[in-house]
Structures are given as structure tokens and as C-alpha cells.
């Protein structure tokens, strides 16, 4: 369901070109839980942005759900981000002065879903992450762990093909981190495809497959133990 072929990405910075990705190829099947690992600067986040349609590759292709995304126009990419990808960021990226519920509704707004149905679906998503009681709280009144749970609810709400989590526990204490990982694991058990970026072996242990990157290339791709 996700094919990455010979993916490269070169950034131009003040006249220098930086090769973040130098030809990455792998395939992820539906229902997999994959950790992408590597030291900082190895190209993990760049890869994540390309899979998540936030950016376009220099060459190569990303095929998501049978659709080649690297050739899409801006608005088509927005639509893929909206419907097929659920993104969870390290720093949550919630709208701060907005309630948890409204934050979760955001992808539904851009999907053109009417307000009644929208609230219902957003509330359901908050239930999954166990935050339905905080639906009316503004995101800046929530703890880090709670904010990340709101972000996961937001990623889930449009029922995407794939959930991308970029260092989801990176800003959390270990207890909240474990909570978040348990939610992701639960979602995977329910059949959702999840790709996780992390540099912590402990976190990667939740996944069933680890792809290791170094300097923009895949160095290993193997199954790992299930926690």
C-alpha cells in the first residue's frame, strides 16, 4: 500500500546542495507498524515529509494507495494529506487557543464535512484516545501527553490509510510517552498502518519492523520483536 522507489531529496542551502535522501526504496503493507530509525541528519524526517505529502522528492516516487503522489499539484497534495495521511508531530502542532474538539475537527472541515456530523466524528476520535472529557478544553490548557493524544485523534479522524508519527514521544516524559505508544500500538492492533520515526530503541521496540537510515540510505530493514 506504500511503495517508496529510489527516493532522493536534495536541498539547496546558500549555494550548497545537501543530499538528505540518496535513493531509498522499500514497501510497506497494510497493517504494518514500522519504525524508521537513525541518528539525527540521517534523513528520517525528510522521508516522513515526502511520504506525508508535505514535500516533493527531487527524484524517485512515492506510491500511496496506488496513487503516485510525487507528481501531484499542490491542491491534490493537500487533499491526500487531508484524506489519506494522519500526521502526528513531535511538538503536537495544535491550534493553541482552540478547543481539543475543534482541533480534531480541523481535517473534517477541509474535507467538507457538515458541522453536525463533524462534531460527532471528532468526539468519537477523542474517545479512542480517551480524551472525550477534555473535548471542551483549549489545547494550551492540556498537558503534553494530552495534547499529543489530541493530535493522534486529529490524525485518526478522517480515517486515513496511514498514520505517520514523527518522534511522537520526543517532547514527553517517559510515562506520557508510554501512554502514547500504547495508543499507537492499539491502533495498529485494530489494523491501522503506522510509520513511526524515532531514534530511541525503546520506542522502536513497539514496532514490528525497523528500517534504519544513515546518511540518506537504508542500512538495514528487519523485523523486530513485538512488545
Partner 1 sequence: MNLMESLRIAIGALVANKARAMLTMLGVIIGVMAVIILISIGQGVKSDVTSQVSGLGSNLLFVMPGRMGADTQQSVGFTYKLKPEDVDLLKRRMAFAKDIIGNIEAPSRVKYRNKTHRTIVLGTSASYPVVLDRPIAQGRFFTAAQVEAGRRVAVLGKTVVDDIFGSENPIGKRVTIGAQKYLVIGVMSEKGNFMGQDFDDGAYVPLTNMTSLMGSDRLSHIIIKAKDEMHVKDAQDEAKRILGTKYSPDDYSVMTQGETLSILQNILSIMTLMLAGIASISLLVGGIGIMNIMLVSVTERTREIGIRKAVGARTHDIMIQFVIEAIILSMTGGAIGIAIGIGGSLVMKNWMPVEVTWWSVMLSFGFAAIVGIFFGVYPAWKAARLDPIDALRYE
Which residues of this chain interact with partner 1, rule CB under 8 A?
49, 52, 54-55, 74-75, 78-79, 81-83, 87, 89, 93-95, 97, 106-107, 109-112, 115, 154, 158
Nearer to partner 1, 149 or 154 (CB): 154
Nearer to partner 1, 20 or 204 (CB): 20
Q: How many CB atoms lie within 10 A of CB 54?
A: 15
**β-pairing verdict for 162-166 and 193-198:** parallel
177, 204 contact by CB (below 8 A) = no
Q: How far is the CB of 53 from partner 1 (least distance, A)?
A: 9
Q: How far is the CB of 143 from partner 1 (least distance, A)?
A: 19
Nearer to partner 1, 157 or 204 (CB): 157
Phi, psi of 121 (to 5 degrees): -65, -40
Contacts (Cβ under 8 Å, ≥6 apart) of 39:
199, 214
Nearer to partner 1, 97 or 222 (CB): 97
Helix (H, G, I), strand (E, B) or coil at 22: strand
Q: How far is the CB of 154 from partner 1 (least distance, A)?
A: 7
198, 167 contact by CB (below 8 A) = yes
Q: How far is the CB of 18 from partner 1 (least distance, A)?
A: 15
Q: How far is the CB of 127 from partner 1 (least distance, A)?
A: 20
As a whole number of angstroms, the distance between CA 225 and CA 211 comes to 13
Nearer to partner 1, 156 or 204 (CB): 156
Amino acid at each position: 500500500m506504500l511503495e517508496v522507489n529510489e527516493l532522493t531529496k536534495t536541498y539547496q542551502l546558500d549555494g550548497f546542495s545537501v543530499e538528505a535522501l540518496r535513493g531509498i526504496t522499500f514497501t510497506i503493507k497494510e497493517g504494518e507498524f514500522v519504525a524508521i530509525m537513525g541518528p539525527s541528519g540521517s534523513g528520517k524526517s525528510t522521508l516522513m515529509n515526502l511520504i506525508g505529502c508535505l514535500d516533493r522528492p527531487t527524484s524517485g516516487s512515492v506510491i500511496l494507495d496506488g496513487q503516485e503522489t510525487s507528481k501531484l499539484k499542490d491542491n491534490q497534495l493537500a487533499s491526500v494529506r487531508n484524506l489519506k495521511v494522519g500526521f502526528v508531530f513531535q511538538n503536537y502542532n495544535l491550534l493553541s487557543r482552540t478547543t481539543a474538539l475543534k482541533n480534531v475537527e480541523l481535517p473534517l472541515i477541509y474535507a467538507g464535512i457538515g458541522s453536525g456530523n463533524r462534531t460527532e466524528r471528532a468526539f468519537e476520535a477523542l474517545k479512542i484516545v480517551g480524551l472525550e472529557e477534555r473535548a471542551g478544553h483549549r489545547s494550551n490548557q492540556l498537558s503534553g501527553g494530552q495534547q499529543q493524544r489530541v493530535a493522534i485523534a486529529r490524525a485518526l479522524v478522517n480515517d486515513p490509510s496511514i498514520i505517520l508519527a514523527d518522534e511522537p514521544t520526543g517532547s514527553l516524559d517517559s510515562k506520557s510517552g508510554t501512554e502514547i505508544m500504547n495508543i499507537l500500538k492499539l491502533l495498529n492492533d485494530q489494523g491501522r498502518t503506522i510509520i513511526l520515526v524515532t531514534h530511541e530503541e525503546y520506542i522502536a521496540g513497539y514496532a514490528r519492523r525497523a528500517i534504519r537510515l544513515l546518511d540518506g540510505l537504508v542500512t538495514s530493514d528487519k523485523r523486530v520483536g513485538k512488545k
